[in-house]
């Protein structure tokens, strides 16, 4: 069995060579796996019952290492990834959700937490979507003073000038938001005989497959003109790149929000590099840091204009005030909000009040045109992992019946697509379709080893076809 090894640079080269159709093909394979994971299609081998439990340790140096095994019908694998966040205790700490053998302990109140999709239909049946959303969106898109920002700007300073700044520590230690916080590690892939066929550096794979998952929701949105991205690392880069490749014909503006001048300027320089002109298109990119004097005004305007918000930071505090989305003005349009950066219960990118209001389903309002009705659910990649690890859910006291997996949502999407051909489709189906296309969707991703296994296998196959990487013929 030949073993293909992909370094970080080799994988990056491969990923950046992918065109629209190849990305869609890899994404479809991942979507099928996530659907089977959630709905229990045991013929595929991706069902949750076939996925070994993940576990984690925090070492003496504060580095958290996550062990994520996975399996499909024909492959098995494990991802080992670490992040130096300095937030752990001294000594080693085993994930409290596991015993020392890696067997999950019982969690009070969570028995039978893998709920059926029937609850989603009933939760969303009262969903209403503004009939004036498009008109309101068009009106708000022309009212902002932030439009005066240059297309390649950072706090109204040209990229090159902004990049010349130094951190407040004068380089003795990276300034806030200047470190690359992407996880380090690798993914090992084995066939059904346990023979290794792939070894991939996870530094680039992790953000790519995470962004690929978020884009499953973005692809179905009716309106995607303005995107706000928090963070300036690899997760931000791949969310931006894939969003533009998949929806660039509709997009007009991307706002990058980051604490550091240097990191934001670096990302903008990368986006505006000549080799990226093929996917960048005519989309305008601007960045702003929290040090900017006009930060609050521009953030307020960008959030209100946003059709999608991608949060890609390991933040311990909410990235923006809840009222920007929970106020009457903030709720006049539906948005896709993805939070994938936080990975511990004490971390949060979204104010808990945003989630609490989203799951607080109320009786139908008589004046639907005034705002988008709450959906009643939060979308996650894995119910079990998110209920234990996602700080946003934990701090907002979200219950398992208020959560739906993206795999279940994909199943509903397929059902809606089939029902669209049926003139007898019911009101619930219409509401679901409206929600997917126009309503509020909050997605909280914590990551699955299955995502790395499925995406990594496709990439190894592509790498062999293109003779990228190092191949050991007889490993």
pLDDT band per the 50, 70, 90 thresholds, residue 67: very high
Asked if pLDDT for residue 362 goes beyond 80, the answer is: no
pLDDT band per the 50, 70, 90 thresholds, residue 114: low
pLDDT band per the 50, 70, 90 thresholds, residue 447: very high
Sequence-ordered list of residues with C-beta below 8 angstroms from that of 413, at least 6 positions apart, any chain = 220, 436
CB 46 within 8 A of CB 455: no
Tokens of 207: 């953000």
pLDDT at 238: 97
Mark residue 156 as left, alpha or beta (left: phi above 0; alpha: psi -120 to 50; beta: remaining).
left
pLDDT at 369: 44
**Rounded to an integer, what is the distance from CA 324 to the centroid of its chain?**
20
Report DSSP letters for 7-66, one per residue: -HHHHHHHHHT--HHHHHHHHHHHHHHHHHHHHT-TTTT-SGGGSPPPEEEE-TTSEEEE
Which residue has 């499909």 as its token pair? 72
pLDDT at 410: 85
Rg of the chain on CA atoms, in Å: 22
CB 305 within 8 A of CB 144: yes
**How many CA atoms within 13 Å lie on the side-chain side of 306?**
29
* Mean local confidence (pLDDT), 322-338: 93
Query: Between 363 and 405, whose confidence is greater?
Result: 405
Length of the chain: 475
pLDDT at 425: 58
Nearest C-alpha neighbor of 153 from the set 298, 278, 264: 264
pLDDT at 244: 97
Q: What is the pLDDT of residues 235-272, one digit of tens each?
A: 999 999 999 999 988 999 999 999 987 898 899 999 99
Asked if pLDDT for residue 308 goes beyond 70, the answer is: yes
> What values do phi and psi take at 17, rounded to 5?
-90, -10
Asked if pLDDT for residue 435 goes beyond 70, the answer is: yes
Measured in Å, how far apart are the chain's first and last C-alpha atoms? 7
CB 66 within 8 A of CB 187: no
Asked if pLDDT for residue 437 goes beyond 80, the answer is: yes
pLDDT at 319: 96
Where b means 16+ CB within 10 Å and e means fewer, 190-205 reads: beeeeebbbbbbbbbb
Asked if pLDDT for residue 133 goes beyond 50, the answer is: no
Residue 450, CA distances (Å) to 88, 133, 213, 295 in order: 26, 37, 12, 39
> What values do phi and psi take at 407, rounded to 5?
-65, -40
Tokens of 367: 């004046």
| Alpha-helix residue ranges (DSSP H) falling in 308-426 | 323-326, 352-359, 383-389, 391-395, 406-419
* Mean local confidence (pLDDT), 189-215: 96
**Angle at CA 64, nearest 5°, toward 38 and 229?**
65
pLDDT band per the 50, 70, 90 thresholds, residue 92: very low
pLDDT at 417: 61
Q: How far apart are CA 382 and CA 390, in angstroms?
A: 10
pLDDT band per the 50, 70, 90 thresholds, residue 85: low
Q: What is the pLDDT of residues 48-65, one digit of tens each?
A: 999 999 888 888 887 888
Tokens of 361: 């389903």
pLDDT at 156: 46
Asked if pLDDT for residue 167 goes beyond 50, the answer is: no
pLDDT band per the 50, 70, 90 thresholds, residue 402: very high
Pick the CATH number of 3-94+201-361+372-470 from 3.90.1300.10, 3.40.50.620, 3.30.70.270, 3.40.50.720: 3.40.50.720
* Mean local confidence (pLDDT), 295-319: 94
Asked if pLDDT for residue 228 goes beyond 90, the answer is: yes
139 burial via Cβ count (<10 Å: 0-12, 13-18, 19+): exposed
* Mean local confidence (pLDDT), 306-330: 94
**Rounded to an integer, what is the distance from CA 164 to the centroid of its chain?**
31
Asked if pLDDT for residue 448 goes beyond 60, the answer is: yes
Where b means 16+ CB within 10 Å and e means fewer, 54-90 reads: bbbbbeeeebbbbbbbbbbeebbbbbbbbbebeebee
pLDDT at 18: 96
**Angle at CA 321, nearest 5°, toward 319 and 327?**
140
pLDDT band per the 50, 70, 90 thresholds, residue 40: confident
Asked if pLDDT for residue 140 goes beyond 70, the answer is: no
Sequence-ordered list of residues with C-beta below 8 angstroms from that of 280, at least 6 positions apart, any chain = 244, 271, 272
* Mean local confidence (pLDDT), 82-95: 49
* Mean local confidence (pLDDT), 184-194: 95
CB 230 within 8 A of CB 258: yes
Nearest C-alpha neighbor of 315 from the set 352, 351, 341, 339: 341
Q: What is the mean pLDDT of the chain?
A: 80
Q: How far apart are CA 315 and CA 296, in angstroms?
A: 18
Domain ranges within the chain, ordered by starting residue: 3-94+201-361+372-470
pLDDT at 436: 86
């Amino acid at each position: 069995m030949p073993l293909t090894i992909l370094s970080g640079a080799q994988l990056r080269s491969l990923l950046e060579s992918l065109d629209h159709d190849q990305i869609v093909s890899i994404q479809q394979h991942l979507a099928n796996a996530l659907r089977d994971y959630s709905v229990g299609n045991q013929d595929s081998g991706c069902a949750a019952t076939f996925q070994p439990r993940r576990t984690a340790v925090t070492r003496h140096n504060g580095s958290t290492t996550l062990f994520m095994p996975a399996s499909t019908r024909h492959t098995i694998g494990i991802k080992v990834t670490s992040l130096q966040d300095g937030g752990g205790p001294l000594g080693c700490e085993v994930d409290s959700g596991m015993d020392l053998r890696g067997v999950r302990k019982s969690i009070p109140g969570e028995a039978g937490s893998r709920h059926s999709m029937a609850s989603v239909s009933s939760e969303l049946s009262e969903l209403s979507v503004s009939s004036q959303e498009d008109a309101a969106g068009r009106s708000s898109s022309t009212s902002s003073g932030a439009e005066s920002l240059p297309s390649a700007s950072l706090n109204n300073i040209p990229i090159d000038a902004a990049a010349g700044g130094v951190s407040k520590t004068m380089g003795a230690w990276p300034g806030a938001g200047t470190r690359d916080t992407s996880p380090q590690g690798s993914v090992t892939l084995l066939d059904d005989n346990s023979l290794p066929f792939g070894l991939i550096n996870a530094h680039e794979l992790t953000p790519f497959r995470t962004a690929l998952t978020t884009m499953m929701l973005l692809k179905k949105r009716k309106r995607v003109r303005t995107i706000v991205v928090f963070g300036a690392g690899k997760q931000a880069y791949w969310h931006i790149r894939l969003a533009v490749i998949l929806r660039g014909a509709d997009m007009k503006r991307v706002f990058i929000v980051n604490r550091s001048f240097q990191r934001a300027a670096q990302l903008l320089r990368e986006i505006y590099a000549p080799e990226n002109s093929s996917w960048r298109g005519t989309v305008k990119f601007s960045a702003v840091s929290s040090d900017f004097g006009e930060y609050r005004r521009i953030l307020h305007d960008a959030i209100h204009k946003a059709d999608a918000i991608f949060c890609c930071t390991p933040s311990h505090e909410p990235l923006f005030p809840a009222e920007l989305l929970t106020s009457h003005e903030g709720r006049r349009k539906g948005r896709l909000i993805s939070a994938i950066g936080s990975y511990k219960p004490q971390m949060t990118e979204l104010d808990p009040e945003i989630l609490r209001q989203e799951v607080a389903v109320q009786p139908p309002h008589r004046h639907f045109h005034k705002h988008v009705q709450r959906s009643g659910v939060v979308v996650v990649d894995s119910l079990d992992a998110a209920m234990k690890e996602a700080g946003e859910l934990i701090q907002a006291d979200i219950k398992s019946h208020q959560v739906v997996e993206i795999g279940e949502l994909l199943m509903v999407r397929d059902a809606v697509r089939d029902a669209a051909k049926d003139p007898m489709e019911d009101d619930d189906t219409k509401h679901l379709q409206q929600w997917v296309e126009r309503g509020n969707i909050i997605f909280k991703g914590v990551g699955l080893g299955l995502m790395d296994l499925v995406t990594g296998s496709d990439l190894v196959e592509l790498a062999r076809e293109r003779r990228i990487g190092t191949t050991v013929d007889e490993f």
